[in-house]
Chains A and B, each alone.
Chain A
Amino acid sequence: MRYSAFSVFLNALRGNKGWKPAWRSPVPKNHYDVIIIGGGGHGLATAYYLAKEFGVTNVAVLEKGYIGSGNVGRNTTIIRSNYLLQGNNPFYELSMKLWEGLEQDFNFNAMVSQRGVLNLFHSDAQRDAYTRRGNAMRLHGVDADLLDRNAVRQMLPFLDFDNARFPIQGALMQKRGGTVRHDAVAWGYARGADMRGVDIIQNCEVTGIRRENGRVVGVETSQGFIGCGKLALAAAGNSTTVADMVDMKLPIESHVLQAFVSEGLKPFIDNVVTFGAGHFYVSQSDKGGLVFGGDIDGYNSYAQRGNLATVEHVAEAGVAMIPALSRVRVLRSWGGVMDMSMDGSPIIDRTHIDNLYLNAGWCYGGFKATPASGFCYAHLIARNEPHETGRAFRLDRFARGRMIDEKGVGSQPNLH
């Protein structure tokens, strides 16, 4: 069924009894042309674009939990393309362009809100760094505005501009950045893929990968063996666990990242704001809750929960940036497992096995990349060659000295 104002009206008249589940719960077939391991945002987007753009519809997405239970439902919903480096910028800008047309494309309300993303700076050196970043963005055709202190004060009067240690000198703003309702992204892609014939199989954990003559022939799962022509990994924080099944060692560590939502407040933060001096960023959801987070806890973890020390640290940074937060009560906090790569950038590539593909290493930038990741990965799987904007995300870039280290901290995953 196509969703429209008319369908809402018609169903209202019929007592809302005409709505059907947005995707089926199929029994797995014996064989698929493509199996995608991981029904998160990236796996579902890949299936969607495979079916829609590349005509590959005999596809299964295997999800060990339920759709939306992983990182696609655990992030802070921010989209932006304010990247500095050559390999990153065109890719994230492709993602931004796909976000801008996404709701019409997959006929689902994902509440894409281009409310603007501001990165605050606090020193001359930081201003220089952001000027350089903004110029790089503009050279790539991405919008960027450098705001001075007064311009920021007019937009965000509640910030602590005269903080003794980190006074706010201005901000780099990307007006087209913003937020998207993350669950709706998963649901929209799932529905769009399902409509085009993709089987989304939930509660189906892959326990092994069967190989014959150096090729993958299928996967062992909690619902039995399923054969496949091509196998695509999109397992995010659990990428290592899946790669271990084919003896592939990855340049990845799994870390926990926490995020928080406050009680509902009247509208007061209109944009996404990041604190340039501490580990803190915040936006306000349409329900009124402040959605905020900081950095990863710093130790390897698959636990989807973090430490109170990080909670305290995030709260301190938040109050340093916005003193009014001191009396806000936190409603919920949660953790997600990040596949932290060794240079802070992702991997979308073929592997040492002919018909096995890898999509991993998203660190904590995975959500904003969802559409472009799905598009480029689908391109790679369908055509066996990388999409032009995803060429830099090679698995062998570490061996070849072609790292894409946006932050410049080297191969120390807990610092990215």
Chain B
Amino acid sequence: MASLIACPHCGPRPKEEFTVRGDAGITRPAPDAGEDAWHAYVYLRDNPRGRHKEHWHHTSGCRRWLVVERDTMTHAVYTVTDASAPGETA
């Protein structure tokens, strides 16, 4: 994992200020979406080797939830956006 994460609100900050939650690529299904959809949401993961989007919380900073797109093979960080930004899943 890269040493710095460029928070859109606070600028580049040490990774230790952030807490990782997990995969940001999954969307919560509708309550009546059925068992298969809920099973996939709760248990199945793409787990890519390469580009991957994750939710990180800037715990020791602005305390905003962020979507960090990074590479799971090289640990390079590509983009960091606020989780409430248009197009991101919350």
Contacts and interface: CB of A to CB of B under 8 A. Distances in A.
Interface of A: 238, 240-241, 249-254, 297-303, 306-309, 342, 398-399, 411-414
Contact of A241 (B1, B39, B45, B49): B49
B1 A301 contact: yes
A249 B72 CA distance: 18
Given A251-B43, A254-B72, A342-B43, 8 more contacts: A240-B49, A250-B44, A250-B45, A252-B47, A253-B47, A254-B47, A300-B54, A303-B75
Contacts of B74: 303
Interface of B: 1, 3, 15-16, 20, 22-23, 35, 39-40, 42-49, 52, 54, 72-75
Given A299-B54, A303-B74, A398-B39, A253 B49 contact: no
A303 B16 CA distance: 19
A299 B1 contact: yes
18 contacts: A238-B49, A249-B40, A250-B44, A251-B44, A252-B45, A252-B47, A253-B45, A298-B20, A299-B20, A301-B72, A303-B75, A306-B1, A309-B16, A342-B43, A399-B43, A413-B22, A414-B20, A414-B22
A241 B50 CA distance: 11
Contacts of A307: 1, 3, 15
Contact of A303 (B40, B46, B47, B73): B73
Contacts of A306: 1
What are the 9 tightest A-B residue pairs by CB atom distance, in nearest-first order? A240-B47, A398-B43, A251-B43, A249-B44, A302-B49, A299-B20, A309-B16, A342-B43, A399-B39
Given A300-B54, A399-B35, A249 B75 contact: no
Q: Which of B22, B42, B43 has the most CB of A within 10 A?
A: B43
Nearest to B68: A299
Between A398, A399, A412, the greatest number of chain B beta carbons within 10 A of the residue's beta carbon is seen for A399
Given A300-B54, A309-B16, A253 B22 contact: yes
Nearest to A297: B1
A306 B42 CA distance: 26
Contacts of A413: 22, 45
Contacts of B1: 297, 299, 301, 306-307
A254 B49 contact: yes
Contacts of B72: 254, 300-303
A110 B49 CA distance: 34
A399 B36 CA distance: 8
A180 B15 CA distance: 36
Nearest to A343: B43
Contacts of A302: 49, 72-73
A277 B54 CA distance: 28
A308 B40 CA distance: 34
B72 to A, nearest CB: 5
Contacts of A250: 44-45, 47
A342 B26 CA distance: 15
A251 B20 contact: no
B89 to A, nearest CB: 16
A253 B20 CA distance: 14
A308 B43 CA distance: 30
B19 to A, nearest CB: 8
B15 A309 contact: yes
Contacts of B35: 399
A238 B3 CA distance: 25
